[in-house]
Each structure stands twice: as structure tokens, then as C-alpha cells.
Amino acid sequence: MLTGTACLIAFISGCSGREGRTSVDSSAVVVGLDSLQSLHDITVDAREWADSIMATMTVEEMAGQLIMPSLFSDDSAANLRMLREYAVDCHVGGVVLLKGTVEAADTIAETLRGMLGVPPFIAIDAEWGLAMRLYSTPEFPRNGRISPSADENAMFDYGFELAHECRQAGVNMVLGPVLDVLPEGNGRSGIGTRSFGSDPERVAALGVAYAKGLESGGVISVAKHFPGHGSADADSHRRLPAVRKTRGELEATDLLPFRAYIDNGMSALMTGHLYVPALEEEEIPVTVSEKILTEFVRDSLGFQGLVLTDAINMAGAGGYSAADAIVAGADLVLSPADTKEELRRLTQAVMEGHLPMQTLRDRVRRVLFHKYMAARDGGGSGKVENTSETERIIKLLR
């Protein structure tokens, strides 16, 4: 099974995601899960490209690759000036799109591509479709309201269709699936209908199928919120919550969907700002725990994909910096409160030896590798509309 992105775009030729389906977008060549004969050559090319690009970068430019600020999907002059600052002054690795329009999202994506020497990640939350963030786009059911009869084929089709819509909006990364498992019975959870439910096997099956659909359609999936936010005792937007399960309980519930996602070769994990004493005794967020991100995720679980933080400006990560997360094992830090300041701190951490140069290079190499593997040719149309396929999938899910 493919480690990293399950779909390669633009650099290789191929066809369809599911059997009998044609390429969903004439601007990109999609290789499905059954068409990966050239994988070895492509990964070699990707590593060589990553190394060649990195050899031309300054420390500040490399550090910038690891930061993705948030930006409203607004093509006003003021917003585009801010985008230029992110690109020219901070050399960001991409952006996370917030509320706005499809047309503006596509404009931001194309503008950023034109400003940067390296293709950017354009990420978005789309937990019930692009409608979560972009106006006048198809709205799919929330995960917790998906029909009990919906199967993995329906979820694959959902992810595949959403990938098509994302590309029309210039998006190449979806911050999903949500793999958080709800407590059984009437246990409280701040995740609510964002989750597929309290059955970890079902959460795994539906979430992984959806991720496969996204990646077969040329969009990176990001499973969240590792190692599981479903049983957290608070909202990480407001403070650092705790998940007080034993290691055995975590393995049987919260970790099961993430293990399935990793075992199926998907691309990226997002950390939750959670205190999980069964995995880390010190009362710190997972986001800055080397014991969890490096020793557990990399060494124990064997995950080789991207590790993203949840928005670092959330209260659950209060007092910690992008540098802290990168040192611990993260590859990309999302939504800092002050992008320039976080870049300065990250660069300073390298200069002072707190973040070894080799560690910085390892993180940047992984980011560039996945950018190559998920590269897409051309821009979106700036239009996302309901189609007969959209309606068919929504009916399957309800």
C-alpha cells in the first residue's frame, strides 16, 4: 500500500480512481489505487526534487515551509496584501482557508502559486463538504448524521467527489477525516456530530474509505485529532483538555481508527491539543510532546507521512510556539497568531541549536516530498456546483 499520498498527479500518467471511472478533471492526470506501477520511480524523483529545492533555500525559507497561516477566502485588496506578506516575507508552505467564496479561494491559490517558488499547500476544513467554509457549495451530511446504511463505497465516492470540488476551488488538502471516537452511551463530547460515532470500527471504516476517495481524487487527507479528541474533558479552543484513558482503552477505541488510517498508507495526521497521560506523563499538549510525536507516531506506529498541528493559536496550545511543535516532531504548524513572530522564533531556534539543522532539513524534505507527490497542474475553475453525482452521493449518505 502506498505510503504517503494514494494519488499522484501531473508527474505520471494514469486514469480513474474507481474501476470504470474516468479522470475527474482535465487539468490533472489522476492515478488510482490500482495504477501504481511507477511508484518506486516517482518516489525516487520526489526525493531528488525535494533535495534539489532544499539545497537552494536559506534557513528562513526552510522554516517558512513549515508554517501555514489562516486566511479568509476573500479576494479584497487588503486580504491579498496580507497574502503577499505571507509569501514574500515569510515564505510560507501554504495557507488554511477560512470562510469566504469559491472564487476568492481559487484566486488566493493561484496568487500564492505565482508568488512562491515552491507549490503551496492550500488546506481547508470540509467536514460536511466545502460548505463548511465556502458559501454556495454543496452541503453533505455531517459525519454523525450519515445514514447507518452508508458503506465504504459510498464514503469513497464522497471523498472522490469532494476532491473534484476542492480542485475547482484551488484546494489540494482537506483537514479531515475526523477520526475521533465518541464515548459510548451519553458520555459528553465536544466533538459531537463531527464524529462518525462511538463505534471505533465504523469510524475507521468510513473515515479511511473517505480518505482513500480524497487521495484518489488528488487531494491530501489529514486525519484528526490524533490521538483522539472524542473523550476529552474540555474544548481545546478554550483550554488544554485531558483524555484520561488507560493505554489499553486508548488502543481499543481512540487509536484504532488512526492505526487503520496509517496502515492504509494515507498521507497526514493532525495533532489534537490534548493532555494524554497514558502516552505522556508531563502535562503538555500532544502537539509539543516528543514522546508522542516522535517516539510513538514515528518509531512505534511507523508513520512516515506529514504531521500537522491543530491551529497553534488555540488556547489548548497556549504558551507553546511553532518551534516547540517542530522540535517535538511536527512537520507543519497551522494558524499561528503572529506568522512573522513564529517564523522568527523558528529561525532563532535553528541558529541557537535548539532545533538542529538536520531536523529542520528532515521536516522540510518531508513537506517537499509530499508537495511533489500531490502536485497538480493548472488552476481551478473558481466554480463549484451541484451535479447529478453530488446529489446521488448526498442521497446515499442520508
**pLDDT, the chain, mean:** 88
pLDDT at 25 over 60: no
Instruction: Return phi, psi of residue 210, to 5°.
Output: -60, -45
Say what the pLDDT of residue 244 is: 93
pTM: predicted TM-score of the whole model, two decimal places = 0.88
pLDDT at 304 over 80: yes
Q: Which of 21-35, 87-101, 234-248 has the highest mean pLDDT?
A: 87-101
For the record, the C-alpha cell of 7 comes out as 494519488
CA 172 to chain centre: 9
Nearest to 66 by CA among 94, 46, 40: 94
Say what the pLDDT of residue 11 is: 32
Longest dimension (CA), the chain: 57
Decide if 273 is catalytic.
Answer: no
More confident residue, 224 or 16: 224
pLDDT confidence tier of residue 39, bands split at 50, 70 and 90 = low
**pLDDT digit string (tens) for 265-293?**
999 999 999 999 999 999 999 999 999 99
Percent of the chain scoring above 90 in pLDDT? 78
pLDDT at 199 over 80: yes
Residue 189 · residue 183 · CB < 8 Å: yes
Residue 171 · residue 124 · CB < 8 Å: yes
pLDDT confidence tier of residue 182, bands split at 50, 70 and 90 = very high
Which CATH superfamily is 39-397 part of? Glycoside hydrolase, family 3, N-terminal domain (3.20.20.300)
Angle between helices 152-168 and 200-216 (to 10 degrees): 40
C-alpha 290/C-alpha 43 separation (Å) is: 27
Residue 218 · residue 7 · CB < 8 Å: yes
| Residue type, position 229, single letter | H
Of 310, 324, 331, 370, the catalytic one is 310
Q: What is the mean pLDDT of residues 381-392?
A: 86
Using DSSP's 3-state secondary structure scheme, residue 49 falls into: helix
Burial 152-174, CB ≥16 within 10 A → b, else e: eebbbbbbbbbbbbbbbbbbbbb
pLDDT confidence tier of residue 190, bands split at 50, 70 and 90 = confident
pLDDT at 241 over 70: yes
Say what the pLDDT of residue 12 is: 29
Q: What is the mean pLDDT of residues 250-259?
A: 97
> Regarding beta strands 173-174 and 121-124, do their DSSP bridges make them parallel or antiparallel, or are they unpaired?
parallel
According to DSSP, residue 43 is labeled: H
DSSP for 100-164 reads E-HHHHHHHHHHHHHH-SSPPEEEE--BTBGGGTBTTS--PPPGGGS-TT--HHHHHHHHHHHHH
pLDDT at 7 over 60: no
Say what the pLDDT of residue 9 is: 33
| Dihedral in degrees, nearest 10, Cα atoms 321, 327, 329, 334 | 30
Decide if 237 is catalytic.
Answer: yes
Of 45, 51, 233, 237, the catalytic one is 237
Burial 75-105, CB ≥16 within 10 A → b, else e: beeebbebbeebbeebbbbbbbbbebbbbbb
Residue 138 · residue 390 · CB < 8 Å: yes
C-alpha 316/C-alpha 238 separation (Å) is: 6
pLDDT at 40 over 50: yes
Say what the pLDDT of residue 166 is: 96
Question: Beta-carbon neighbour count of residue 21 at 10 Å?
Answer: 15
